[in-house]
Structure 1
Amino acid sequence: MKFNLKRDWKITSSCLLYFALSIASQAQESAQTDLSAVSCPADFYAIPLFKEARMCQIFAEDLPASMTYHAQANQQTTSDFYLQQLGQAQRMETHQGRILMAYDNDNKIIIISKDGGGTQVDILVKS
């Protein structure tokens, strides 16, 4: 089979998106209400957390790393925060009501999901 950059990039990108959305769904389903006592870091692998982040849960500290937290702001305000802090995302898409922002050649992914009166933010860092 001959290598086709455009086709192979779409396949890789689609697989990565599926993985990211799958992790976000799992994190949302397994969120625990008693996590509010857990203190949140200021950032995770140089990705800042929204002010007053709460209910932080780190799923994997070593690369590939992932964490989730709750922000008391809507999806637009939360995505605007990341655009201000990190600059324009290389890729920004909406899937199943979630905002996906990809940075650093898809090595850093932020997924912002509606969660009650605020948002759930999932951060995935590949390398």
Structure 2
Amino acid sequence: MVCFAFIGFTANAQDATLDGYSAQSCPAQFHSLPLYPEAKLCQLFDDALPASLTYHATTDQQSTRDFYTSELGEADSIQELKGRIVLEYENANKIIVISKDGAGTQVDVLVKST
């Protein structure tokens, strides 16, 4: 069974802090997993494995899912849990959680091992 926590946040253009954390510039990739183009409000929670990063994409959930399918191929497992799309790759060692967030999506990238 896979357990993970969802970190919610809200922000606007004037306020780039997330519950006491400052948002970081978004990389193009995180542990070889791509981020949606023009990702915003990246928050790195841990870069050492197991690692996690959260960001905001200005697109809907389905477009974000289509991006990951195009970039990584069909996921080993696709689940919809409480309005979130959960994509698992490489025997659940790489997990992408796509949640509705205002006019866009929040994307949680979780990497257990590479």
- Shorter-chain TM band: 0.7 to 0.9
Cα separation, 1, equivalents of 2:54 and 2:23: 14
Name the % identity: 51
Q: With the length of structure 1 as denominator, give the TM-score of the two structures.
A: 0.79
Which of residues 77, 100, 109 is equivalent to 1:91?
77
> Which structure would you say has the larger Rg?
1
- CA offsets per residue over residues 92-111 of structure 1, 9 Å max, x none? 01000000000000000000
Q: Which runs of 5+ in 2 are unaligned?
A: none
Unaligned runs of 5+ in 1: 1-12
How far apart, CA to CA, are the structure 1 residues paired with 2:57 and 2:39?
5
Residue equivalent to 2:67: 81
| Correspondence for 1:3 | none
How far the C-alpha of 1:38 sits from its partner, in A, is 2.6
Within 5 Å, give how 1:1-127 maps onto structure 2: 13=1, 16=2, 19-20=3-4, 23-24=5-6, 27-28=7-8, 31=9, 33=11, 34-35=16-17, 38-127=24-113
Cα deviation, residue 76, structure 1: 0.2
Which amino acid in 1 is paired with 2:82? Q
| 1:53-90 deviation line (CA, Å, top 9, x unaligned) | 00000001100000100000000000000000000000
Q: Work out the number of aligned pairs and report it.
A: 105
What secondary structure does 2:92 align onto? coil
The separation in 2 between residues aligned to 1:94 and 1:67, in whole angstroms, is 20
What is the CA RMSD across the aligned residues, in angstroms? 1.4
Question: Residue 39 of structure 1: CA displacement?
Answer: 1.1
CA distance in 2, matches of 1:44, 1:94: 23
Taking the aligned partners of 2:83 and 2:98, their CA distance within structure 1 comes to: 9
